[in-house]
Amino acid sequence: MSFPNNQTGYVISGVCSFVAIAISSYNVFGHLKYYTKPKLQLQIVRILFIVPIYALVSWLSLCFAPVRVYFETIRDCYEAFIIYCFLVLILEYTGGELQCVSAISKKPPLSHPTPLCCLPKLQLNVRFLRMCKQGCIQFVIIKPVMACLSIIMLIAKKWSSVEYQAFMLTIYNISYTLALYALFLFYLATSDLIKGLSPVKKFLAVKCVVFATYYQSLIFLCIPNLTDEEISTLNDFVLCLEMVAFSILHYRSFPWWEFQHGISDTKVVENLQQVTSIRDVVADAVHNFSPGYASYALSGDTGESFNSQTWMVKPTGIDEDMRNDGELLADCDMRVPSTQMIAVPTEEFHSEITSYGVP
């Protein structure tokens, strides 16, 4: 048994994994303890979890090679999830989806980066935002589907066949490229809006992990005289070492002490439950791929001002309690107790609720 697939390799990789997990766990605990900005920290903590998951899974894959594919399935699925989380985080930094569209719609069309600069420029509007979100969400969907398919093919003893490997690499490369390119375009469109928040450092902290997990394995394929098993072993070992550097990079890019102000929410367990829930992700995926979104996108794409063309949903009747409490939310997805609904333009809706004392 040659290094790193021996006792020495297991110990070195185990120590590195433990160090990476300890650094990331300390940062995660800080965020959960000082959970002062839930919308931001919800996505930040999800991003920070990538290092402990990768470190542990890579070490287990190295030590228990016969069941490596099952461990790597967990790692691959979470990798896709992180790209989506980062896009949502940038959206939150810009003030939310509507604020982001309102800000980028005032900019000139965005040129594609080299070598795709010959493609038509992209209009920065609600269609652009939806395209970026769909580019990331498709990766979140395809990755688990392909992972489950790989397990089925492994059970059927077809996983190592040339046909399936070619099919898997093709689908993965297309999906990876679309997701990373969508994220990069979104970053180019919003980088100036989050200029004071170290966007480059945050972007690299996320993208480096994705690069290390997938494209690194493709590089190892170019090493001559290595079997598939040896390539997987080498990749897992190197990942364990890299996670130490990535944990430090994440600690500096997403520090918990930035949120150590305001009223501290010390309900760490409850905060952790919110982070691990994926209800918001499922709802967002349904929203962005549903046919109903098309009308929403078209209504926001007909004029220079996004807000001036947005249609709100409001109840036909407003009772006295709601007048007094002012509990009306000017949100296109709000839920109201009335069974009769009508659609009204933003200006009319805002002027009406203002008359009830809602600013």
Distance CA 332, CA 64 (A): 50
Q: Residue 328: what pLDDT? A: 40
The matching CATH number, chosen from 2.60.40, 3.40.1350, 1.20.1070, 1.20.120, for 7-281 is: 1.20.1070
- pLDDT at site 100: 87
Q: Where are the domains of the chain?
A: 7-281, 311-359
Global pTM value:
0.72
- The pLDDT value recorded for residue 262 is 62
How far apart are the two ends of the chain, measured CA to CA in Å? 71
The percent helix, strand, coil of the chain (3-state, each to 5) is: 70, 5, 25
Calpha distance 116→175 (Å, rounded): 18
Q: Are 6 and 230 in contact (CB under 8 A)?
A: no
Q: How far are the Cα atoms of 87, 96, 99 from residue 92, in angstroms, in the given order?
A: 9, 5, 9
* Positions of the chain with pLDDT lower than 50, given as ranges: 294-359
> What tens digit of pLDDT does each residue of 98-120 get?
888 888 888 899 998 888 888 88
**CA dihedral sign, ordered 135, 141, 143, 149:** negative
Residue 265 pLDDT: 58
